[in-house]
Amino acid sequence: MLLCLWLHLAWAQQGSQAWYEPAPTLQRGRLTGLVASEVALTGLSYWALHDLWYSQAPRSKFHFFDDNHTWLQIDKVGHGLSAYHIGLFNATALEWSGLSSRKAHLWGGLSGFLYLAGIEVMDGYAAQYGFSRGDIWANFSGSALLVGQELLWGEQRLMPRFSYQPTPYRQFNPGLLGQNQLQGILKDYNGQTYWLSADVAALTGWQAWPEWLHLAAGYGGTGMLFNRSPNNINAQYPGIVFQRQFYLAPDLYLPALKPKKPFWRAVFKATRFIKIPAPALSYSQSGGLRGHWLFF
């Protein structure tokens, strides 16, 4: 019912303009339907999280939880990326409704922060977790990166991106790192790498540099069988080192290719949070500087 009303209002206001094209001026039908849909989806996602996750966990009074020293802070970087891309998605949708780029990114950044803050409040009532000030600051940082670039440059020249590759560590602690590969993407921090992809052409003004070729710096970790390294980890698991890893790699930014067909433009935009596999350099304390023909 809600979707039908939204499509009717949007179609009535757009005239000959294709429905998938961003409106040149504000179309209240699109904006009304978009906001109503977002509110409904937010409520549905909170309900699903509560039913599938929080309802199965022991409850407690609202409390705070200091987890700033766990997982080599990789989880905090993940919070920042999530806030950024939720905000970017919402900003793109608001631009589609005809809102100016600045207003769309301001509201988009705020929506990403508030959405994740709601999840953090639910964490505050879970006995095993708690409201994490570190998570909130990470969420704020991701939203601030989105809004700050819009205010400074009117475009996104630095974009956080994500990659994952399976690791052998899940077998040692599947309850914490994931029972299968799908869970591993979310829970096995050893396989996650977070990148900050820089638009070299826009940052330097060098017109000869291809717009689609970015340069990305990555951060990850290894040896994380637990959320922090126990003193006897080397005795329990010989050869496993709890350490940070750093990366440098070229990055293919597909939206800059600007395909003509709307379907492919949408597909390429949907890849903005994914780091495309490419050759890379990595550095860690135990492994030193290494080259990779293809790293994801």
d(CA 195, CA 274): 9
62-86, pLDDT tens digit by residue? 999 999 999 999 999 999 999 999 9
CB proximity list for 93: less than 8 A, separation 6 or greater: 34, 38, 108
Whether residue 175 has pLDDT greater than 90: no
pLDDT-wise least confident of 5-9, 245-249, 276-280? 5-9
Give residue-wise pLDDT tens across range 236-261: 777 788 899 999 999 999 999 988 88
Q: Is the pLDDT of residue 17 over 70?
A: no
Within 8 A by CB and 6+ apart from 271, the residues are: 254, 255
Average pLDDT rounded to a whole number, residues 204-226: 94
Identify the band that residue 22 occupies on the pLDDT scale cut at 50, 70 and 90: confident
Using CA atoms, how far apart are residues 121 and 119, in angstroms rounded to an integer?
5
pLDDT for res 239: 79
Whether the Cβ atoms of residue 222 and residue 229 lie closer than 8 Å to each other:
no
pLDDT score, position 13: 42
* 8 Å CB contact between 178 and 188: yes
> Domain extents for the chain?
25-155, 157-296
Check residue 235 and give its pLDDT: 65
Name residues whose C-beta falls within 8 Å of residue 190's C-beta, 6 or more positions apart in sequence.
Answer: 167, 169, 177, 220, 221, 222, 223, 224
Of 142, 126, 143, which is closest to residue 53 (Cα–Cα)?
A: 126
What residues contact residue 165 under an 8 Å CB cut-off, 6+ apart? 191, 295, 296
C-alpha span between 77 and 134 (Å, rounded)? 10
DSSP state of 23: P
Asked whether the predicted pLDDT for residue 12 surpasses 50, the reply is no
Q: What span, in angstroms and rounded, lies between the C-alpha atoms of 127 and 247?
A: 36
